A and B are shown apart, each in its own frame.
Chain A
Amino acid sequence: MSRISDRFASLHAARRPGLIPFITAGDPLPGATVAVMHALVEAGADLIELGVPFSDPMADGPVIQHASERALAQGVGLAQILGWVREFRTRDTATPVVLMGYLNPVEIHGVQRFAAEAVEAGVDGVLLVDCPVEEIATARPLREAGLDQIFLAAPTTDPARLEKVCAAAQGFLYYVSFAGITGAGHLSTEAVRERVGQIRRLARTPVAVGFGVKDAASAAAIAQFADAVVIGSALVDTLAHSADAAEAVRRAGAFLAPIRAALDALRTGHAA
């Protein structure tokens, strides 16, 4: 069992929907990332997605693009990010950490080398946005090293592909709630509910839903039928305006706590 499946198993047992915040590593301040991760856990995060900034984030909207640009301007790279995960693990050995980003930084670092270093640092899973299941061979060293390879499913994913994606998925499946970029806003809860229902019948992993979740209300709406909700752009946008690390920590907690409360208020146990 991986740290990710352990976490989802205990969420399931507690009939609790999972809450997965996404932050761009190194934004708004490289020195704040580890403290923000701890603050998110204290405010109720079940798993943390740490975005690896890339110069050409073709699937991301303006909020995460700008976060990446800010982080890159401060020289944030993979080695530093793995260092932050290692530091996070000295105080938190339970909360899974997933790195989310694009292939090129991993390729240039060396997939094999990255896999070994990520495992050593305490990373649990990797989501490579531009590595669909067809190119799975590229990421084989990640699996071999024991990292969960997280895949995306989208509204455009047809049934045949969905089976392939579900078969390959490890840890959890990330369902992209609408065809678009991160941070865009048109979430149709009913359409998502229907799709997630189909996916949950096929998937052997839990299903998390992201894109378009921006506050307690939208998170609670999705959590009625998903195993977990991912919330990214809205959080990244909130952190962006922090003057210093202490403020980023405060903002992270203040942002996530009401969402956690809204999810806990559900506790309807849809997964039963």
Chain B
Amino acid sequence: MALLQLSEPGQTDAPHQRRLAAGIDLGTTNSLVATVRSGNAETLPDREGRHLLPSVVRYTEAGVIVGEEAKASSIEDPLNTILSVKRMVGRGLEDIKSLGSRLPYHYAQERTAVPRIQTVAGDVSAVEVSAEILKALAMRAEETLGGDLEGVVITVPAYFDDAQRQATKDAARVAGLKVLRLLNEPTAAAVAYGLDSGSSGVHAIYDLGGGTFDISILRLNRGVFEVLSTGGDSALGGDDFDRVVAEWIMRQAGISDDAGRSMLRQLMHDACAAKEALTRTAVTELDVDLGNGARWQGLLTRDQFNELVDPLIKKTLGPCRRALRDADLSREDIQDVVMVGGSTRVPRVRELVGAFFQTEPLVEIDPDRVVAVGAAIQADVLVGNKSDDEILLLDVNPLSLGIETMGGLVEKIIPRNTPIPVARAQEFTTFKDGQTAMAVHVLQGERELVTDNRSLARFELREIPPMVAGAARIQVTFAVDADGLLSVEAMEQSSGARASIEVKPSYGLTDGEIETMLRDSFEHAREDVEVRRLREEQVEARRVVEALSAALSEDGDRLLNADERKQLESALAGLVALVEDQDHEVIRKGIQDLEKACEFYVERRMNASVSQAMSGHKVDEFE
């Protein structure tokens, strides 16, 4: 009962333990984990002092290897070593093939929507590969911090579509992590910069990573980061720089297109090394092993390199122009351009982007770490460690959402750059007498034709009451939450009947598939899912108890009468008695009961905070 003591009137909260949370930058090439410790957000190194974890997973018969060691074996064991898995997350096989990168893997020939890569340890999906990276980072954080993480913020490119976001969240579930929020990478970078400099005004965040490009325009105002617009290309990045250099080497050295997988990997390695060298010097030497004992040697100058990558960099300026337009701004309105992502180390990128925005780009924070640092700050806020700087991130949906209409055209329902969370309703009707079902195809993208957009889901509205054609009015509501994830609900208006919907994610996993992966994953880790569940529910129960106690001591006297207060305190005591129970279902039920009992109090508290926010702002004040 000690916890109840906290709620005694007039008593302040006992100094509670700091909650452990981390920010994870799950990158195409490298990943990082960061956390806030004694007021400072910092990335965490591994035992060898390395902060970057190469996003490389190697599957062997003996087990899974993640990071530097896996990367080292990518040339000798290309089929079982998965690189740049972020490019495959939430994608179908056809998309992956069209990405242009030469992926050496063998795909399982099954009729599943989600492609599975064949390895010596069995077939794996991109979600599972990503989960391995997340697990490695979470373990690093837990070892450093000496406790379990209560939640994580995972960053995604702002331009990631719904399927890619869902897949990232699924990966976290498979890794056994609680996702507090999916945060857009440019927004995370802005948080890292914003808190550092305390600046306000409109900023552009130019984020060119290993495999993705994002541009975001944000307005900063006293801790509120309002994303005005975002744009990008989820299949463009530093990997492409390597690819054009590798192709140049192939042309120079007379290497044919059908060179072996190891050869291609080796070329990409050499190209990447040359790119990195050219950030420091004006010319670099190349020495390529052609196999069969022969070598090719040559020079690549920075000018030649610039010429090779210029078309790629210019490809990023179109989205910059559109983002400005969507924000209703011109280049002069942009105060600063923040450079994020390893590829912004390329001098030519800084030069062209600086010229476009007519300002010297900001590069003070390590572009590799800035996203993880921002994510850590946000994770710390979300997990409930109150800080003095109350930050709030207001995001937008990056791509338009629409549905297929007659003739293979798309009708937009939620346009891109609409602030989220958002909900829009659309009315449909039947076109045949007595029609009781109808198919809806949900798409994401900016183009007019269905085939040019990304298919998100197909679902059927069923049990529509039979009526004459055009009489049924079916209202379908599309909602996008703060993570940028879509949900759909439908209702027949005239009869009030809810039409049942079955959403089949085009490239997603079903809950059943995730559950299986989760079990498999813990089997490998020799951890019992049940034990983990119990521990999670216990933590959750303590959190609920603590939150209610804090609320009661804060405003219980003001918002509740004596009877109501007594009622809530006894409900609270009910859960306190269950916290040490050994059955996770019993604890879950206890939490639900308490939350139910609190609903009226929750509403009153929200009302109170809204009126407080708007207090002093009376309409007549301006009249």
Pair from one complex:
no
Q: Which positions in A face B, CB cutoff 8 Å?
A: none
